[in-house]
Amino acid sequence: MYFQGIEPLLVPDFSTKQVIFMKYRFRSPFRWLRKPNVHAPMTDTEGGTNVSERFHHYISRSIAGFYRRRVLSPAIYLLILLGLFALSPARSILYPMQVEGSFNLAELYQNQTHYVHLTLSNLHFTGYTRQMFGLTTGYYYYTVMDQKSYIVLLRPDTSSQGLPQIDQVEVFAKIIKNPASLDRIKVHLTEDLGEHAGLAGALSPYMVSEADARGILHRLLLIFIWLTGIYAGISLLLDLLYIFFPKLSAPVRRLGAYGDPWKLLDQAEEELATMPQLATEDIFITEHFFIETSVYGVAIVPISEIKWVYKYSTLHRILWHHFSISYTLYIMTTHRQAIHCPKNAKSDIDGVIDYLSEANHDILVGFTERNRLRMQWYLRKLPLSDLIPFLRSRPGHRQKIEAIKKREKISKEDEQN
């Protein structure tokens, strides 16, 4: 049993039958609260650089680095979309080929031209329709062009619910191979074209389908391509904007709930460069701020605004093999902002929690049912303006809240007197 703050530096190794002296060194239980020596600045042992120089605008550089990593995903996705439209038949979906005059469906299909805009004339109704789930989705027509017969599948609105004959119509259609269900239509077409010798035997193995070109899958594909492309483009532009102007990024905008975000950022960077109280691999604590700069994101929050803090563990394994256990630090602020710091060492998180609890005695420490209920009760007390980030960040809101608290304090003092 050791005295508090004293731990053995070496322990006796009886297996080697050697006598090893027990040495002790004093380690303060409040070692996490140590401040760097301002008169003799700490230096990096490898590079010899001053700490203030190392952490100069460190938060802004971390924000730019985070969005610099994020910019790769939308850029790669946009390049893939451009490659698909440049090197595959998918291009014809958005930019169908305009076909004028006579055409050969076989040549168009073999040239990867599947979607076309074309004008058809002298269409005759075959008497057959295509149905799906009891609904008529298309009407089969045929036309003769250059001694060759073509089957055309028109939508109900284009064919006016099956007109016997259509003189001319302009359609956006898809070139597909004749399905096996066209055998009965071919028999009907042979009887109808009996007066034209050999025309029925010259039926093209490809057909024009307007119904397939404007089907549900086609529309869903177009919507998916456009929406994801627009989202990727906007994400790319915003990421580039945040790289060059970190003060406009989301981590800085969230500081608007606690005051002027730009002033708070400058204050946090100044404290981090001159007075860092605690530093781990990706978590820093200054006199007034908690700062996270990890690959998962950047977070800045005043210590006085932290309401609840706890840690939970995650077991990493594949099948039955356990690799490691990582710990995640969870922080909830007074304005419903949640901060997650995943994949940290247990000792680092314990040190952070100890420091935060000493710096702010109102913080709820640990995940217990009592703390959960107290946090739930506190969040229910928040006014509507504190639940909406837009209202929280409007000019003068912070001053109004402080004025209300001041009036309540004065009224309580008057009641006591």
For every residue of 347-372, DSSP letters joined together read HHHHHHHHHHHHH-TT-EES--HHHH
**Closest C-alpha among 54, 56, 70, 53 to residue 249:** 70
User: 189 pLDDT band (50/70/90 cuts)?
Assistant: low
Residue 21 predicted with pLDDT over 70: no
Quick one: what percent of the chain has pLDDT higher than 70?
A: 72
Length of the chain, in residues? 417
If one compares 9 and 80, the residue with the highest pLDDT of the two is 80
Contact by Cβ (8 Å): 210, 154:
yes
Give yes or no for a contact between 342 and 296, defined as CB atoms under 8 angstroms apart.
yes
In this predicted model, which residue has the larger pLDDT, 41 or 246? 246
pTM for this one?
0.63
Strands (DSSP E) found in 133-198: 135-145, 148-154, 165-177
pLDDT at 79 (0 to 100)? 92
Residue 12 pLDDT greater than 60, yes or no: no
> d(Cα 176, Cα 204) in Å, to the nearest integer?
11
Residue 298: the pLDDT is 92
Going through 253-368 in order, the beta strands assigned E by DSSP cover 278-279, 283-285, 289-294, 297-302, 306-318, 321-333, 338-344, 364-365
pLDDT score of 174:
86
The encoded tokens of residue 186 equal 């071919």
Highest mean pLDDT among 48-52, 132-136, 185-189, 243-247: 243-247
pLDDT (tens digit per residue) in 261-312: 999 999 999 998 887 888 888 889 998 999 999 888 899 999 999 999 998 8
Quote the DSSP letter at residue 16: G
Give per-residue burial for 89-114: e unless 16+ CB within 10 Å, then b: ebbbbeebbebeeebebeebbeeebb
Residue 84 is encoded by which pair of tokens?
A: 């698909």
- The whole-angstrom separation of Cα 182 and Cα 205 is 10
In the block, residue with structure tokens 């703390």: 371
pLDDT top residue among 33 and 201: 201
Q: Average per-residue pLDDT in the chain? A: 76
Write the Ramachandran bin of 366: left for phi over 0, alpha for psi from -120 to 50, otherwise beta. left
Query: What CA–CA distances, in Å, run from 249 to 70, 105, 268, 306, 409?
Result: 13, 53, 16, 21, 36
